Amino acid sequence: MSKEFNDIIREINKQNKELHSIDSQISKEVVKEIIDLKKSIRNIESKIRSMDDTLVKLFDILNTITVFIEEADENQEELDDEEDWTPYEDRNFSYKNDSEYDDDEEENDDEWSNGQDES
Give me the percent of the chain exceeding a pLDDT of 70: 64
Q: How many domains does the structure of the chain reveal?
A: 1
pLDDT score at 95: 54
Does some domain include residue 21? yes
pLDDT at 14 over 70: yes
Does some domain include residue 47? yes
Helix (H, G, I), strand (E, B) or coil at 26: helix
Read off the pTM.
Answer: 0.44
pLDDT score at 94: 56
**Residue 43 and residue 51: Cα distance in Å, rounded?**
12
Establish how many alpha carbons lie within 13 A of residue 22's alpha carbon, considering only the half-sphere containing its beta carbon.
Answer: 6
Residue 95 and residue 101 in contact, taking contact as beta carbons nearer than 8 Å: yes
End-to-end CA distance of the chain: 154
Residues 28-57: tens digit of each pLDDT: 888 899 999 999 999 999 999 999 999 999
Domain enclosing residue 33, as ranges: 2-80
pLDDT score at 114: 55
**Average pLDDT, whole number, for the chain?**
78
pLDDT at 84 over 90: no
Does some domain include residue 118? no
**Residue 70 and residue 78: Cα distance in Å, rounded?**
12
Dihedral over alpha carbons 51, 53, 55, 61 (to 10 degrees): -150
Does some domain include residue 34? yes
Query: Average pLDDT, stretch 1-25?
Result: 86
**Residue 49 and residue 115: Cα distance in Å, rounded?**
84
More confident residue, 70 or 1: 70
Does some domain include residue 91? no
- The DSSP output letter for 92 is T
